[in-house]
Structure 1
């Protein structure tokens, strides 16, 4: 690879990582801005929550189609498509005159973000030389670990200082810069397979499958679990995913090949990372609720809890990847999963007297574990996959990961809702609700630790 080709690969990778980070950022930034949006449009919190729910739905539905796009379009054009969708969504959100229009903009952003998720991992694993994949995955992990953690702080600062629309103005400016950089730095390439066919039936199954599960888990966070709006989409989702997997094994040109599960490392990494995302994504919502609800502090102070871990993630993510390339994934994953579990378990013992600095320390330990796990687990799990199915693995994992993150969040919110009702009657202390939610997250973190100790070699 010539220096010029290296430079273009690095440029492409940087652009896609930043685009992916923007998508992850805009997913969690709404957690701190919902109050401002609800006040402006006169909608209550349950309606406002659709800004997050619809984002997850659209993201999960989009990701499985990226395997087809990656065959039909060149990488440059796939990146253009993602960035243009992100920009269009951001513009709609800046100008939104009503809540439904704002939701429409969120859908466009989610589709753009859904395109970037599998692409960033595929580039890290296929366009970098052997021995550098862990480093590349560590850098890519910034988009999946750093960006979601900084979202609540950015949202809190902007909504309190300049209003929620200011975020989308800044968002659009960054996306325009990335579009210009793509034009200047990413070379034109031919599409890998112009004759690629879109498997419509498989896409319908995946849409109903992932969409049904995401909708059910999102509804479960605000509705009675016995409600038909929870169990009905859950049943449809499970049934359609079963049909999807069965169909992929039977047809000649699957939307996502299930051969990915023939590789043991991928199976282990798949399980561990789904538990990881179920554990930590919900925390981006639970911590702001805890700080503002139980401790009675502001949205900005809630966001500050994430700052040290977020800053450290910029260093820890690539460092973990470099170490994984140098000494192997196992020691890195063992240390990281220990940090994750220690931080998560300690948070389960917080109460209304816990000082903000101590909560921040716990989240910092936990966040370092998350940051150090994402890259090494990804590179170790996908390292043995043939290049031609790398995008399939990235896409399927990204879609399932989104569903698991939504499930983890829903279960934690359910625990808070149920136990808060008991606290209102004086049956339990108010802090028990949040301790239960943090405890669920800790249990998932412990699962990651067990897999790391017993399976990652």
Structure 2
């Protein structure tokens, strides 16, 4: 719901108009055009399917590990590479929106979604599956910002917040039901059936509705893309996530008594490439006449601390879906369907309580709603750590529910409060950076937690054995401890940011 709150925070001031004056001149209740609703449905369904298929895959990891003969650290790339591609595409959204017509972008997103699904259906080698995820990630990275841009450009002024709420709900409900859908379908059909079902929905519903309803209200521009800056963003994101992954592989190999040198070298090179590319992007943006993203607003330490918190919290928030579903199957021995269902309560409460967090922000300001929410959220991983060696499916779902409630109440308000302190001229740049950070955090979380579990499972025997289950439970404890540390760092960053803000008053 972050965009909805941003829209509210950027509404023009009242300029001293009293309540009675406003009541005497009420804003007319504007009608939402039918074609706009159709456009939101078409593009929103495409974004929904993209996010749904991303979260569907997490519950299938044990099955995919057996089919392709790969370990935990390798299979997680099905999700991680998707999130990386989405994160890499997000910075292009402003350029694409100015350069191309909405209908062109929509058709491109449809084509990529269908092509990616076809490759998933017919691909029988793990590298081919990864290529399909790259294709699907590009399509989702185009569709999601397109939906937001259509709403912001074409919605009646009095209905922008309401329609943005609908758009945000589409984006948040998909991750909530993804693991459950994946578990349900895979329990009765081959996992590829998920993508067989997706293609007709896209071609028979999303495509015709979009071609009929999507309209162009603004002219396109002669926008120019800085390819070096775009490559630098991609390399920085990939390098940092690869560093996390290969560090875990090296440690796992060392624990198992294998050769860890090659993985350690790759990890070191990835870290240098990631940090070097990030530094180059910052330097290039500062010197460029037309940078891909303007970064001058990050000089404000208050905004920067908000960004750090917003980037690291999704490591826990999105990574939790991977941890719950895999811990349930590999340690507790549940089916894929049950494992997916365990995520549903916590994820759904996260989807539907985000608007409540925005209402609390509007009423009480930033400090209490945000810090209170994350003080509640951290109780979830604390309880999971305390019970890590004697968890049951019920306690696993219940403690995750606690985290999901606090996380949903507070996360969107971080972005809202940060962008409130940015010059409106730089609002598109702030949106791009925060949304890219959100996707990167999710990719990093999946890579980090799969690495921790893989380290614990190394040398523990065959999957399904008692020693393997015990090792997975131990890895779960390490994971929950890491989550606690991450949330604690985020709370400290936010507290420091609020202290800086209070001194400015």
TM-score class normalised by the smaller sequence: 0.7 to 0.9
Provide the alpha-carbon RMSD of the alignment: 3.5
1:120 and 1:209 map into 2 onto residues whose CA distance is 27
**Gap change, CA 1:373 and 1:170, over 3 Å in 2:** farther
Moved more, 19-28 or 381-390: 381-390
Report whether the alignment pairs 1:91 with 2:118. yes
1:208 and 1:163 map into 2 onto residues whose CA distance is 35
Report whether the alignment pairs 1:180 with 2:222. no
Correspondence for 1:33: 60
Q: Does the 8 A contact of 2:151 with 2:164 survive in 1?
A: yes
CA shift digits 1:283-315 (9 cap, x unpaired): 112222221222222222221211112332342
**Gap change, CA 1:295 and 1:35, over 3 Å in 2:** closer
TM-score normalised to structure 2 length: 0.78
Q: Which of 297, 302, 318 is residue 339 of structure 2 equivalent to?
A: 302
| Superposition pairs of residues 60-139 of structure 1, within 5 angstroms | 60-96=87-123, 98-119=125-146, 139=166
SS of equivalent residue, structure 1 residue 202: helix
Correspondence for 1:438: 480
CA shift digits 1:232-279 (9 cap, x unpaired): 122111101100111011010111111342566643431221121012
Structure with higher Rg: it is: 2
| Superposition pairs of residues 149-164 of structure 1, within 5 angstroms | 149-164=176-191
Correspondence for 1:276: 313
CA shift digits 1:350-381 (9 cap, x unpaired): 23422221221111111122222233223332
| Superposition pairs of residues 18-417 of structure 1, within 5 angstroms | 18-37=45-64, 39=66, 48-96=75-123, 98-119=125-146, 139-142=166-169, 145-176=172-203, 177-193=205-221, 195-224=222-251, 227-262=264-299, 266-385=303-422, 389-417=426-454
Q: Does the 8 A contact of 1:136 with 1:318 survive in 2?
A: no
Unpaired runs of 5+ residues, structure 2, are: 1-27, 252-261, 462-466, 499-504
Moved more, 296-305 or 1-10: 1-10
Q: Does the 8 A contact of 2:30 with 2:159 survive in 1?
A: no
**Gap change, CA 1:189 and 1:87, over 3 Å in 2:** farther
SS of equivalent residue, structure 1 residue 306: helix
Shift, 1:430, TM fit: 6.2
**Gap change, CA 1:36 and 1:291, over 3 Å in 2:** closer
Shift, 1:181, TM fit: 2.8
1:204 and 1:222 map into 2 onto residues whose CA distance is 26
**Gap change, CA 1:201 and 1:143, over 3 Å in 2:** same
Unpaired runs of 5+ residues, structure 1, are: none
CA shift digits 1:186-219 (9 cap, x unpaired): 32234442x1111112122222222222333333
Moved more, 70-79 or 381-390: 381-390
TM-score normalised to structure 1 length: 0.85
**Gap change, CA 1:166 and 1:148, over 3 Å in 2:** same
